[in-house]
A and B are shown apart, each in its own frame.
Chain A
Amino acid sequence: MNRLFSAEIIRNESVDDRHFILELSPGAAVADTLVGQFFMLKPGESIDPLLLRPFSLMGFTVPGATHPNGTLSFLIRAAGKGTNILKRLPVGTCLTVLGPLGQGFPPIEEGERLIVVAGGIGIASVLGLVKVYQDVPLFYGVRTKGHLLLSPGMLNAISAEIHIASDDGSIGTKGNILELLEAYVFQLRKSFGGNIKIYACGPHAMLRAMAEMSLDAETYISLETPMACGLGTCLGCAVKTAGGIQMVCKDGPVFNIKDITWDEA
C-alpha cells in the first residue's frame, strides 16, 4: 500500500469565512487509518510554499462505485499561505498526499468508557471517534456560537450526548468546556469503576490546562507542531516528553498526556 499517492478534490466547501472541508478521492488504495492519524497534503505544485501540510483525517467513506478507493475528508482552518491555497483549489484538482502517518488514538477495549473532548478546530482530529464508537459523549468548546464548526443538527446526528460550552454563552453553557468535563467525570466515577479514557484535541492552552487537572481518567491528546517530512526523519517536530525528545509525526501526534513535558510559558 503506497503511502505517497495522488488524490482528486471532489468537494471544497466553506464552513465559515476561515474553515473549509476538503474531500479527496484517492487515486490508489489507502491503508487502514486510525482516528488521530494524519495525512500530509501538498498545496499545489509550486515550490512556494515548499512543504506538505499535516491534517488529521476527519472522516472517510469506504470504496464504492463512484470512488473506487473511498474518500478522505479534512476540516481545515485557513491560517497561512498553504491552507489559503488549499481553500481556493477547485474541485477536480489533483493533490499529492502522504499518509496515513503517525500514531492514532489507542483502540477502546471492552469495558472501558470513552469521553471525547474538542476545542475549536480540534474537533477535526477527534470527530471520527464519535462515529467509530457508539454512544460516546462529546464535549465541544468554542469561543462563540459562530465558531461552531459543525451545526448542532450534524453533531446530534452522530452522538446522542453532546455537551457544548462557549466563552460568551451564545451557545451551550457559558464558560470553559473543561469545567463541564470535570463535573461529568466526577459524576461518572460514582457509578462506574472501570477505566475511563478521555481523548482530546484542541488549542495548546486547553490541553495544557487538562494536564494540570486531576481527572480520574487515562487521557490521550493529539498535538500540533510545524512539520516537514511527516516520517520521523527530519527531526523537526520535536516535543519534550518524560522519555526525552519525541517526534510528533512519528511517535505522535497522539500522546498520553502524562508523558508530555509542558514548558514554562
Chain B
Amino acid sequence: MNLSVDIGGLRLKNPVVTASGTFGYGVEYAEFLDLNQIGAITVKGLSPRPSKGNPPGRIWETPCGMLNSIGLQNIGIETFIREKLPELRKYDTKIIANFYGDTIEEYVEAAEALSAADGVHALEMNISCPNKQAGWIAFGVDPVLTEKVVAATRMATRLPLIVKLSPNVTSIADMAKAAVDGGADALSVINTITGMAIDIETRRPRLSNIVGGLSGPAIRPIAVRMVFQAARAVKVPIIGMGGIMTGADAVEFILAGASAVAVGTANFVNPAAPADVLGGIKQYMDRHSMDDINTMIAGVIC
C-alpha cells in the first residue's frame, strides 16, 4: 500500500500530519504514540521573538468544538532551534515549522532563520490567526496583501512554503489563488473560524480576547467545502484540516481534494489521535481495495 504523498516538494511517508498549535513542539506526545509513524509534525506557531500570548480566559468549549484565543504564545524561533529541534531530529518524520510575523519584514526574518536551521523540512506560513489585531488580519483576508506577504517570504526560503489560509473570507478560491500567485508551494486549509461565546450570567465574553478561533468537528463541513473549492481553484497540493477526529473524517478531506490531512483539536481529546486517524485511512483503503493513496485525492464524484 502506497501512502506517500508530495506536498509541494515535501515528501511525506503518509498523509497524516499534526496541526500547528495542537501538538506542542511534538516531543510532548512521544509517550502516547510513535512519532515516527506520523507523516509530519507541524510545530506551534513561531515568531522571531518570544510571545506571551493573550491573558487568561483563553479557551471555551462549545457544541462539538472549542474556541481559543491563545494569541500565538511561543518560545521564539531561536529557543525553538536551540532547545526543541535537536529532540525532534531524533525522529524519522518531517518537521514543518509554522511561523508568523507582525510585519512583512518579520515574516521574511522568520523564514530566513527557520530555513537556516538543521532539521526543518518545510515552512507553514500563518497569515490567518483570528486572535491578532485588525491590521494583521488583513494579511489573511485581503488577497492583494496576501500575495505581497507570500511573495516577500517566498524570496527568503528555498524550503517548501505552505500558506495556511483563513476561512474568514468571502471566497476561499480567490485567497488560494493569491497565495499561489505569491509563490506558495502548497496550502493548508483551513485555520479556525472566528467565533464568540458569552456568559449570560455575568454578560461577559468567555474569552479575554472577546473573540476566538472555533475548531473541532463543529467546523468540519465548512472545512471540507473550502478544501473542495480551493482544490478546484489551484494546482498546488492542499493539506486539509478542520475537525478531523477519525480516519473516515480524513478520507472525506482527501476525497474533497486534500493531498494530506492535519489532526488538530482531536489531539486534545485523544493524544494518540494521529496514529488512530492513519489506521482508519488504511482500513478504508483496504476496504476499497486501493493500493495508492494518491488515487483517492479529489476523488469525490459530483
Contact = CB atoms under 8 A, between A and B. Distances in A.
Contact of B28 (A47, A227, A232, A240): A232
Interface stretch (B17-25, B90-98, B159-167, B294-302): B17-25
B194 interface: no
Interface in B4-52: 21-24, 28-29, 31-32, 44, 52
Given A226-B60, A235-B53, A235-B58, A50 B269 contact: yes
Nearest to A230: B268
Contacts of B265: 50, 228
Contacts of A233: 22-24, 28-29, 44, 267-268
Nearest to A250: B28
A98 interface: yes
Interface string A228-239: 110111111111
A4 interface: yes
Interface in A217-265: 225-229, 231-240, 244-245
Contacts of B217: 47, 50
A236 B271 contact: no
B68 A234 contact: yes
B55 A240 contact: yes
Contacts of A245: 52-53, 56, 73
Contacts of A238: 53-56, 58, 73
A52 B268 CA distance: 8
Interface in B122-136: none
B190 interface: no
A96 interface: yes
Contacts of B267: 229, 233
A138 B21 CA distance: 41
A47 B265 CA distance: 11
A227 B68 CA distance: 11
B64 interface: yes
Interface in A138-170: none
Interface string A1-20: 01110000000000000000
Interface string B228-253: 00000000000000000100000000
A86 B164 CA distance: 38
Nearest to A234: B268
A77 interface: no
B199 to A, nearest CB: 12
B59 A226 contact: yes
A42 interface: yes
Which of B53, B60, B268 has the largest number of chain A CB atoms within 10 A? B268
A231 B44 CA distance: 14
A42 B240 CA distance: 27
B186 interface: no
A34 interface: no
A96 B268 CA distance: 13
A237 B56 CA distance: 7
Interface of B: 21-24, 28-29, 31-32, 44, 52-56, 58-61, 63-66, 68, 70, 73, 216-217, 245, 265, 267-272
Given A50-B269, A236-B58, 15 more contacts: A4-B272, A47-B64, A51-B66, A51-B268, A98-B271, A226-B59, A226-B61, A228-B59, A228-B66, A231-B28, A233-B23, A233-B44, A235-B21, A236-B59, A245-B56
